[in-house]
Structure 1
């Protein structure tokens, strides 16, 4: 006896299954309006589309970022336009003041208006902001990674053993190669905010035990925390009331350390210099070779331990005013009341990096400006000064050049955004082409397979009827 496989019936059933599968796939494509609904539909095309979608998201973010840059530059343009009008008004007032027919009362009124206009220029520069960032009163001191620094002198060294806070804002041009870099604080036995070669920031100070032995103690970030070209606000807090030292970067606490009960802070009034400095001069191969390569816009010393809330407010542009013992600001230029610039350190405008492309390294640097009355050398100017007209004309030239630079940056940012839009559109069309379904083609496939399915079903029915008749004949 032989058991034989019913090959014809199996083939017909297989064809039925295949036709149903093809019909379902084509129906799904038409219903979803997508040619690819699962990975097996087209592995190669789906891989390409995933890469294109990643590029699309990056370009979309780049478009958003460049719009932020455009908005920032528009704010700068608006503020600088107002300052230009006011500087021009100063020029007009000086010319008017030279009219010999004016009475002394008239001249006094002109002087009052002149001074008020200068104050308005300073006010606009200080309060023109974008996302809590001052954009027209934004300048830093450039430290060249060698011997440049700003010295605030000895008069603050006594604060080191009581409640106090060090605060500085800086931008890193280049990480140090083998030794840490001193950014802001007390020199000698460093009580300062510093940068390590591994890209970590730290707040360092010294504790002294009962025997008089001093040991270095630090709190800081992880390695690789800081990046070249980025700006940071670092705040080191000494809280002697609670025996704690805390370190904050960009508004968030990154580390803290308890001061042991049997130890005290190092007293800088007795030895080891203790000058308060922005940066530090270097002595290559000597005892203080810790130069910083970058820009520092400010350094502040408070005679109190700032709270976490005050630190967060400071990061958002609202620095505490009480307890401020010393403030050095690059934007104040020659009007700084403290601080001596050493070894040729120069003033530069701050910059903001905008990621303007698909790559994280594709950045555009937006140059800010210092159009404050102090930055324009107008702050202490009198309408009767012999060089008043020359000073105002120089200020007007600076404002006009700055506005030209803002316009050039705005054009470049608009052009970059158009490039991103073009790339986004092309990538979007490519994705659409990969996924788009040919409805007519799929409808034709459905019709074809429905006919094939109907034929298969008829053949199966006829074949089964034939087998039933054969069985009946055998049983008779």
Structure 2
């Protein structure tokens, strides 16, 4: 006997399944208002849209970041405008003071107002902040990685071998080559924060055993930790109460080590190796200079061992003066009495990197400024000084230049934001186009498949009826 497959029945059933599938797909598209609802709908389009969605999210964050930058610059501009008005007022007071008809009492009142205005300029520069960051009292010392450094003097040898904390904020322009670079700490037998050629950052100190033999100990990050043009706040803690050394960077503990029971910290209070330094560990030209290429904005020495809570507070801008032995800040300019700028090191404005796009390379730098009374060289100025008018005019020019720079940066960030908006809009439109549906077309598909399904069902019914009649005839 030869049995044949019922091909017509199979074809009708297959067509029925296909019609149901097409109807369900069209209904799903209309319900979701999206052409693609699962990966199998359009593999190529989904791959493209995944990339576009990633770009969209990056651009959206870039737009937010640039808006933060614009807000920061607007805060700077507002503060700078106030300082400009105050510096102009200083100029008016100087000219008024030259009026020969004024009495001595009048001149004394003008001098008092002059000094108070200078004090107000200093306060505004220090208290103008955005997101807890000071924006008008920011400078760093530029070090060239060759022979520039700052010597903070030998008057800080009083930490001896007890508890203390070293703290510094810096930016690396170039990683050192061959040898490590000295950022901040005690010269000579380095008790310092240093950068290694492999991009690791370390806290180095020397310990002495009972025989007087000194040995170097370090706590350091992984290689590649330090990135050029990025800013770091590093804190080294010597906790002799608990025989412990600890190292923190940007508020996070990098590591710690126990001070061996038979050893103590090298005594910098009795050694000629007692000066605090920025940029170079020894005098230029020596074998162990280890010059640093970058900027340093501050260096502090405390006579107590910071706790983890104090570390966190310091990183978040809530500095403590508890136990402060030495504080050096580049923003204090030439009126900083804690250290001497040497070998050509220069003051520069601090910068903030803004991530303003989808890739890591999309960075825009915001340049801060130093419009404090110290930074403007007004801090010790008297209304009666022979060069008072020239000094104030120079300060006014500095403020006006800073305002122009702020305005230019606002324009640049606004333009960058417009670029991001344009990219965001284009990408959004591209995604919408890929996912958008033609409702009329999908409705037409449903109608067509419904008709096809009905026809198939009718054909199946008629076909099966004919087969049933044939079987009945055979059975008679």
- Indicate whether the TM-score tops 0.5: yes
SS in 2 for 1:443: helix
After TM superposition, give the deviation of residue 287 of structure 1 in Å: 2.4
Residue 77 (structure 2) pairs with residue 88 (structure 1): no
Aligned equivalents of 2:336, 2:190: Cα separation in 1: 24
Q: How far, CA to CA, are the matches of 1:372 and 1:284 in structure 2?
A: 32
Count of equivalent residues? 476
- Give per-residue Cα distances to partners, 1:328-381, cap 9 Å, x unaligned: 111111111121212101100000010111111111111100100001111011
Q: CA deviation at 1:432?
A: 0.2
For residues 68-467 of structure 1, the aligned pairs below 5 Å read 68-271=68-271, 273-280=273-280, 287-467=287-467
User: 1:284, 1:21 → 2: CA distance?
Assistant: 81
Structure 1 residue 127: Cα displacement = 0.7
CA separation of 1:326/1:385 partners in 2, compared to 1, >3 Å: closer, same or farther?
A: same
- Structure 1 residues 111-158: Cα deviation after superposition (integer angstroms, max 9, x where no partner): 111100000000000111112211100000000011111011223234
Q: Give the gaps of 5 or more residues in structure 1.
A: none
Q: Give the Cα separation in 2 of the matches to 1:282 and 1:272.
A: 11
| Alignment deviations for residues 261-280 of structure 1 (CA, whole Å, 9 cap, x no partner) | 22111123454623210110
Measure the CA separation in 2 of the matches of 1:62 and 1:269: 51
8 Å contact from structure 2 (residues 147, 284) kept in 1: no
Q: Is the 8 A contact 1:170 1:298 kept in 2?
A: yes
Q: Hey, what's the Cα distance between the residues in 2 that align with 1:272 and 1:386?
A: 42
The corresponding residue for 1:21 is 21
- State whether residues 190 and 281 of structure 2, in contact with CA within 8 Å, keep that contact through their aligned partners in structure 1: no
Q: Shift of the alpha carbon at 1:249?
A: 1.0
How far 1:416 sits from its partner (Å)? Answer: 0.3
Residue 199 of structure 1: how far off its partner (Å): 1.5
CA distance in 1 between partners of 2:462 and 2:14 (Å): 16
Check the 8 A contact 1:201/1:220 in 2, yes or no: yes
CA contact (8 A) 1:282 1:291 kept: no
Superposition deviation, residue 206 in structure 1: 1.3
Cα distance 1:99–1:200, how it changes in 2: closer, same or farther (>3 A)? same
Q: Is the 8 A contact 1:234 1:250 kept in 2?
A: yes
Per-residue CA distance 1:284-321 (angstroms, 9 max, x = gap)? 99521411111000100111111111111111222111
What stretches of structure 2 of length at least 5 have no aligned partner?
Answer: none
Contact 1:244/1:258, CA 8 A, preserved across alignment: yes
Change (3 A) 1:113 1:213: same
Q: SS of 1:325's equivalent?
A: strand
Matched residue SS, 2:232: strand
1:468 corresponds in structure 2 to: 468
Post-superposition Cα deviations, 1:224-251, rounded to whole Å, max 9, x if no partner, equal 2221111111111101111111111112
Give the drift of 1:186. Answer: 0.7
SS class of match (2:173):
strand
Deviation at 1:100, TM superposition (A): 1.3
- The separation in 1 between residues aligned to 2:160 and 2:249, in whole angstroms, is 21
- Describe the superposition over 1:363-401 as per-residue Cα deviations: whole angstroms up to 9, x where unpaired: 111110010000111101111111111111111111001
